[in-house]
Amino acid sequence: MMASDSDRLRALKAFDNTKAGVKGLVDTGITTIPSIFHHPLPLHRLHADHEHHFTIPVIDLAAAVGATTTTPSKRAELIASVKAATETVGFFQVVNHGVPKAVMSEMLAALQGFHEEPAEAKAPYYSRDSRRRVRYQSNFDLFRSPAATWHDTLFMETAPEPTPPEEIPPACRTIVPEYTRLVQQLGRTLLELLSEALGLRRGHLEEDAVCLEGLAGHYYPSCPEPHLTLGITAHSDPCFLTVVLQNAVGGLQVLVDGLQEDDKKKLDAMWVDMPAVAGALVVNVGDFLQLVSNGKFRSVEHRVVATSVGPRVSVACFFRQQGAAMSMRVLQPIVTDGEARYRSTTMAELVRRYRAKGLDGSSLLQHLSL
């Protein structure tokens, strides 16, 4: 190991041993960020293009959530909207989704409250032991990634059994069960729509993906040197679907590649800002769903940029099987025309590869392409 590598490892260990995360650094009043957070220049592989007119779709789920009667034509329109979004950008936002604004606000406030507690109150939850159902940490891939990123996370498993309330931090103990119950219902609705968009029976995808596996509560403090680092590096998600609640700070960006803008011209690859739409939840396709749909639905790269304002607070809920079901379940492409684009694999193998490689900007599906 070179001296510089040795120095970096010592710095990483020192940071991790504080059990205070990035928020702990900010609380010391730093004006420059440690070198372990510096990303190689040029920092951004592609800069966000603020001049384009491309927008992330916003889809109204009123015809599928809480409606006592829905005409076939209304449902067909909704399915077509979901299909178009998942086949192109891979991301969309949903409104009238069944999660009350009061619950969303309480969830964000609880998560922010936890992250802003004194370091000694959070330290007992700090762990890199994936066997712990509740764990607080900064950068799950801290010791594998080329550079650390500017965020902390509180992760809570919600399957195959709910986490016992006494294991959940007091700040989140009341709201987490209610929020996850409502997002679980939303996930079921989304998976039904996606099944129909693939020409399958309504409950097909639910059998594999209806389980809300876990909740990741991310906290991105304001950064004194945002041009040197990222909130989270570019990645795609190892699941079927991700449902994200975010506050109004913004920072989430989606990599748009080869799409049409206003049906006039083809867009070059660029980062597009995900606007914070009041009352909306963000939904994105995960790698599992791209594989199962044989590439029809797109799991695309996304990232969070660091900013000098904040904090950005978000809650990501991941839909995939957990436990023994994940270990045994085989993912294979549904081929309705042409040939299979991917080899079959298990959910557990994809998750293992994800944890081993960290957030390196590469797709989990590269080694499965045929």
Could you write out the DSSP letters of every residue in 244-295?
A: EEE-TT--EEEEE-S-EETTTEEPPSEEEE----TT-EEEEE-HHHHHHTTT
Residues 166-211: tens digit of each pLDDT: 999 999 999 999 999 999 999 999 999 999 999 999 988 887 766 7
For residues 200 and 149, the answer to whether their CB atoms sit within 8 Å is no
Q: Give a yes or no: residue 177 inside a domain.
A: yes
Q: Give a yes or no: residue 2 inside a domain.
A: no
Q: Which domain holds residue 293?
A: 49-368
Give the chain's largest Cα–Cα span. 68
Overall pTM > 0.75: yes
Q: Give a yes or no: residue 96 inside a domain.
A: yes
Q: Give a yes or no: residue 306 inside a domain.
A: yes
Give mean pLDDT, residues 68-85.
90
Residues 274-301: tens digit of each pLDDT: 999 999 999 999 999 999 999 999 999 9
> pLDDT class for 114, splitting at 50, 70, 90?
very high
> pLDDT class for 1, splitting at 50, 70, 90?
very low
Q: Give a yes or no: residue 42 inside a domain.
A: no
Residues 312-367: tens digit of each pLDDT: 999 999 998 766 555 677 888 888 888 899 888 887 788 788 777 766 666 778 77
Region for 10 from its dihedrals, namely left if φ exceeds 0, alpha if ψ lies in -120 to 50, beta otherwise: alpha
> pLDDT class for 50, splitting at 50, 70, 90?
low
Q: Give a yes or no: residue 25 inside a domain.
A: no
CA distances to 100, 236, 243, 255, 307 from 285, rounded to whole Å, are 23, 9, 9, 13, 26
pLDDT of residue 326: 59
DSSP code at position 308: S
Which strand ranges, in their side-by-side order, compose the sheet holding 230-235? 230-235, 302-305, 252-256, 270-273
Distance (Å, whole) CA 253 – CA 305: 8
Q: Give a yes or no: residue 259 inside a domain.
A: yes
Distance (Å, whole) CA 235 – CA 257: 15
- Joined tokens for residue 218: 């991310």
Give mean pLDDT, residues 63-88.
89
What's the distance, Cα to Cα, between the start and end of the chain in Å?
Answer: 37
Query: What CATH number does residue 82 fall under?
Result: 2.60.120.330
The count of structural domains within the chain is 1
Percent of the chain with pLDDT over 70: 88
Q: Give a yes or no: residue 22 inside a domain.
A: no
